[in-house]
Chains A and B, each alone.
Chain A
Amino acid sequence: MSVCTGCSLLCEDIEVELKNGAITQTKNLCRKGQAHFQSLSTERTSPIVDGEQASMEEAFSRAAKILEESKRPLLYGWSSSSSEAQRVGVDLARRLGATLYGTPSSQGLLLERVLAGRLPTCTLDDVRNLADLSLFWGSDPSNSHPRLLSRFAYYPRGEKRQKSYEEERTCVVVDVRKSATATLCQHLIRLPPRGDTEFISALAAVLEGKIPRTGDKKRMIELGTLLRKTEFGAIFCGDGLVCSLKEEADLFQSLIEQLNNIAPFRVLPMVGHYNSRGFNQLLLEQTGFLNRVSFQEGQAQHSQEQSIMEAARSCDAALVIGSDPLSSLPFSVARALAKVPLIAIDPRRSLTTDAARVVIPSAMYGLEAGGSALRMDGVKVEFQLIVESNLMPDAEILKRIGEAV
């Protein structure tokens, strides 16, 4: 049994058949996970220093030199590394006086409230065992977390939900489009883009027994009745909701409080990368901040102005771990980042590793390296080494760089 690190569901029931170290057959992996595992045999990186093949030792010493010479280093990525590597990374950032930046995720807005206990949350196992209503708000798990519906949210039988999707579970999708998930659910509420705040006010009115001012009144009253009958609800908040909410998170929180007067309604932010939640939780424990923190003044600092744009433009060297910012960030930011000396630690080739001054290949977690990570609901999942490899895991690489600095 192996653990798939393709998304934040961290599926633990993966069977892999190996022949001479190569994967011949996999079972229970979704298409996303399959591609993630298959990349083990293609597009691997090799140690490169200044555009030429080098040994690992040379790569470590060059990386250490770049970080030493830098006055304002940026350590970027982290959401696709094990919890152990993240811990070493925070220590390294503290020593170097660097800025630590997780891959930007809009989920921070809700995750902050969930981690602080202001929004009630639960584990995915609770959803499977207890929930009779799953609400996918601005999220499309069929595409982003393919096995969420089959493992937890809708189809499986749970302790108190033996009749499952056939009789006891209801799914509601609130989205701007008819997504793949919406085709499976009984209810779809289509909103105009940025219509979420209006929808929240309308829903709050319906729950109070009033007639909503906006939206399809009949559908809203139907939804209100459904929510009032619910015994345990799970709300899966996707980027669609969070991007639309922005400053209105309090409005959402008051809606959740209102819903919790009826029955337990739990909020689960749909984080994407497999250990994004782990990184945020670790930073919160150690520094009290989320997703980004700067150790430049010796103390941990965090401000709204430290956007990724600011961080990319003000840094003079960057270490990128398990991420591809040059492809994923906006072009102007990526261009600024590409001008500074880059150190890339990644098992796979990407635009960032192509542009990097130093490339350090790492082992793939879940297959070539053991460790642990936090699932999207905060449950710790441990994974073992399955395939023998001579590559080092991220945690080991960071330790070696730290020793060399």
Chain B
Amino acid sequence: MVNAMEVYQLLPKTNCKKCGYPTCIAFAVALLNREKKIEDCPPLLEPKYSEKLKKLRELLAPLEKASETGLIIHEEKCFGCGNCVVACPVNVAADPTGCAIGLGPKSDRVILVVEDGVVKCLNAKECRRFGPNRILCNACTATCPSKAIEFV
């Protein structure tokens, strides 16, 4: 997955503060968290950075598919094994007679479900990673055998 240093390398690295952040590395982190957009960096739009801008857009393109919690699902890689569905602590709490004991979800408050053979994300707002006070839970990504789900 993309990390902040990779993004930083493609920024002007002048720490001009025009974006509102004190440094370019802080802006890179904000870009990854999708709090800022590429256009918020005015120097980057200048012609001399056009090469870097193009590369940066390519680098950040997969992030557009991510949910509000930063979850990206690569459907083509998913086995549909349901490990994430059963491991997710929110799913377990919401559905003690289904997900918690390994069956398919019986409640509609769960976050992850397997539909048509691949995992789908519902109710992203229930996720521990949602909102400013998020917990960096990784129960779903750590239990994936094919690395089909990841967080930005």
Contacts and interface: CB of A to CB of B under 8 A. Distances in A.
B11 interface: no
Interface in A155-191: 155-158, 165, 180-181, 183-184
A142 interface: yes
B86 A155 contact: yes
A143 B83 CA distance: 13
Interface string B92-115: 100000001111110000000111
Interface string B125-152: 0000000000000000001011000000
B145 A147 contact: no
Contacts of A13: 103-104
Interface string A30-57: 1111110000000000000000000000
Q: Which of B102, B116, B118 has the most CB of A within 10 A?
A: B102
A157 B100 contact: yes
A128 interface: yes
Nearest to A11: B104
B81 A146 contact: yes
A31 B113 contact: no
A34 B117 contact: yes
Contacts of A26: 115-117
Nearest to B142: A184
A33 B83 contact: no
Contacts of A25: 115-116
B123 to A, nearest CB: 15
Given A157-B92, A180-B145, A180-B146, A28 B82 contact: yes
B100 A165 contact: no
Q: Which of A27, A142, A147, A183 has the most CB of B within 10 A?
A: A147
Tell me what chain B mostly uses at the interface: helix, strand, loop, or mixed: loop
Contacts of A183: 145
Given A26-B116, A156-B86, A157-B101, A147 B92 contact: no
A147 B113 CA distance: 13
Contacts of B78: 31
Interface residues of B, number: 25
A31 B78 CA distance: 8
Contact of B143 (A128, A147, A184): A184
Given A155-B86, A155-B102, A184-B83, A29 B117 contact: yes
B143 A15 contact: no
Contacts of A142: 79, 81, 145-146
Contact of B87 (A30, A147, A155): A155
B145 A29 contact: no
B117 A149 contact: no
Given A13-B104, A28-B104, A158-B101, A147 B81 contact: yes
Given A156-B101, A157-B101, A180-B145, A31 B80 contact: yes
Contacts of A184: 83, 143, 145
Nearest to B89: A166
A150 B83 contact: yes
Interface in B52-88: 78-83, 85-87
Contacts of A158: 101
B109 to A, nearest CB: 15
A113 interface: no
18 contacts: A15-B104, A26-B117, A28-B114, A30-B79, A30-B80, A30-B81, A30-B82, A31-B117, A147-B81, A150-B85, A150-B86, A150-B102, A152-B102, A156-B86, A156-B101, A157-B92, A157-B101, A184-B145
Given A142-B81, A151-B102, 19 more contacts: A14-B104, A15-B104, A26-B115, A26-B116, A28-B113, A30-B79, A31-B117, A32-B80, A34-B118, A142-B79, A142-B146, A147-B82, A150-B82, A150-B85, A155-B86, A157-B101, A158-B101, A180-B79, A184-B145
Interface of A: 13-15, 25-35, 128, 142-143, 146-147, 149-152, 154-158, 165, 180-181, 183-184
